[in-house]
Amino acid sequence: GQQVMQIPQYQHVQEGEDFTTYCNSSTTLSNIQWYKQRPGGHPVFLIQLVKSGEVKKQKRLTFQFGEAKKNSSLHITATQTTDVGTYFCAPVYGGSQGNLIFGKGTKLSVKP
């Protein structure tokens, strides 16, 4: 079946350090969404990437979609304690009608 691998599973950083999480698929994606879940909270949509090679920025967050549309990354520059949480990628495959298969997520902790 369609699967996505998200790495790393956990990341501990010192405040101010950069952070990157990767999402890799074995098959070509239609598009990919990213969500953030704060501790004790629910997943919240961050962004959607659709085009091959697309790069989008939200303040200190940079999202990339690979040229082959099989992988994506989320990079946070100069992490802050407010970045703590779990980041999920949610690939969308062609032919799906709206249901998402979430990656297992990367749990980010930030030491002040």
Partner 1 sequence: DAEITQSPRHKITETGRQVTLACHQTWNHNNMFWYRQDLGHGLRLIHYSYGVQDTNKGEVSDGYSVSRSNTEDLPLTLESAASSQTSVYFCASSTVGLTDTQYFGPGTRLTVL
List residues near partner 1 by CB under 8 A. 30-31, 33, 35, 41-45, 48, 50, 88, 90, 92, 96-105
Question: How many H-runs (helices) and E-runs (strands) does the chain carry?
Answer: 0, 10
Q: Closest CB to partner 1 among 37 and 62?
A: 37
Task: Report the distance separating Cα 57 and Cα 41, nearest Å.
Answer: 24
Task: Report the distance separating Cα 45 and Cα 22, nearest Å.
Answer: 17
Shortest Cβ 16–partner 1 spacing (Å):
28
Shortest Cβ 26–partner 1 spacing (Å):
17
Q: Closest CB to partner 1 among 35 and 63?
A: 35
Q: What are the phi and psi torsion angles at 82 (to 5°)?
A: -70, -10
Q: Closest CB to partner 1 among 23 and 76?
A: 23
Shortest Cβ 90–partner 1 spacing (Å):
8
Q: For 75-94, give the DSSP string.
A: EESS--GGG-EEEEEEEE-T
Q: Closest CB to partner 1 among 14 and 42?
A: 42
Shortest Cβ 78–partner 1 spacing (Å):
27
User: What single letter denotes the amino acid at residue 80?
Assistant: Q
